[in-house]
């Protein structure tokens, strides 16, 4: 079984994208576009693009802040050591790779890229097909073939989670799967996921 992890709010304790917009951009735009996205009135990528257009800080400053401030969940090293997961993120290589380097972890990563312009950051989205199920350029097409265990926490994980063999969910993803009456396993840290994948039971 291949293991696929979301990054923000799943590997990291808090959503780095929200933290960056909160500190360096306009968090009201992030919240408003997030709400529109939740109601199906704005696409995920459009919401992200509108939020990050409000960030104007130099990329180096944001990376330096992120390396100092972003915390990853306990158990990341155990989990990546055992399973060599693929990380699929709607965040950015430029902000994720320095955190992975800090943690001394090397794993394959699929994410978007940034053009951090001083008049507002632009996102260079990872090439992906528009999904026939959800209508977005979602994470489903990034899943490896065969059985997949998917770990996620948010809106961008929904469609991929529906396609996975086994799902570990918290936060908004867990709430969505509850609504859909789709089973998943909960977790607090990544040791929980490692234990469950080792057949030592799940936390739910």
Contacts of 84 (CB under 8 A, 6+ apart): 3, 107, 108
Stretch that binds Mg ion, among 25-33, 72-80, 105-113, 152-160 (CB under 5 A): 152-160
Distance, CA of 123 to chain centre? 15
Which residue, 69 or 198, has its beta carbon nearer to Mg ion? 69
The whole-angstrom separation of Cα 160 and Cα 141 is: 8
| Nearest distance from C-beta of residue 119 to Mg ion, angstroms | 28
Question: Could you tell me if 2 and 146 are in contact, meaning their C-beta atoms sit under 8 angstroms apart?
Answer: yes
* Partner touching 128 among Mg ion, Zn ion, none, CB below 5 to 8 Å by kind: none
* Partner touching 159 among Mg ion, Zn ion, none, CB below 5 to 8 Å by kind: Zn ion
| Nearest distance from C-beta of residue 123 to Zn ion, angstroms | 18
Which residue, 43 or 98, has its beta carbon nearer to Zn ion? 43
Angle at the Cα of 8 (from 6 to 13), degrees rounded to 5? Answer: 115
Positions 7 through 26 that interact with Mg ion (CB under 5 A): 8-9
Which residue, 86 or 134, has its beta carbon nearer to Zn ion? 134
How far CA 40 is from CA of 6, 34, 71, in Å, comes to 21, 10, 31
The whole-angstrom separation of Cα 118 and Cα 125 is: 19
| Nearest distance from C-beta of residue 141 to Zn ion, angstroms | 8
Q: Site residues (CB under 5 A) for Zn ion?
A: 131, 133-134, 138, 140, 159
How far CA 133 is from CA of 48, 67, 104, 144, 159, in Å, comes to 20, 36, 37, 17, 8
Based on the shown chain and the rule CB under 5 A, indicate whether residue 47 belongs to the binding site for Mg ion: no
Which residue, 60 or 156, has its beta carbon nearer to Mg ion? 156
Q: Where along the sequence are the contacts to Mg ion (CB under 5 A)?
A: 6, 8-9, 153-154
């Amino acid at each position: 079984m291949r293991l696929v992890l979301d990054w923000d709010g799943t590997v990291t304790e808090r959503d780095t994208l929200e933290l960056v917009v909160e500190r360096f951009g306009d968090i009201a735009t992030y919240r408003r576009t997030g709400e529109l996205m939740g109601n199906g009135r704005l696409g995920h990528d459009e919401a992200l693009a509108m939020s990050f257009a409000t960030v104007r800080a130099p990329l180096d400053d944001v990376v330096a802040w992120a390396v100092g401030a972003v915390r990853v969940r306990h158990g990341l090293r155990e989990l990546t050591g055992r399973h060599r997961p693929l990380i699929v993120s709607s965040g950015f290589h430029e902000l994720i790779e320095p955190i992975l380097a800090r943690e001394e972890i090397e794993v394959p990563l699929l994410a978007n890229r940034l053009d951090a312009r001083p008049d507002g950051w632009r996102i260079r989205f990872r090439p992906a097909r528009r999904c026939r199920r959800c209508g977005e350029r979602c994470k489903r097409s990034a899943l490896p073939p065969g059985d997949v265990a998917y770990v996620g926490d948010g809106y961008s994980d929904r469609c991929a989670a529906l396609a996975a063999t086994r799902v570990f969910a918290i936060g908004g993803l867990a709430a969505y799967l509850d609504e859909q009456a789709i089973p998943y396993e909960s977790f607090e840290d990544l040791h929980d996921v490692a234990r469950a994948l080792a057949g030592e039971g799940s936390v739910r």
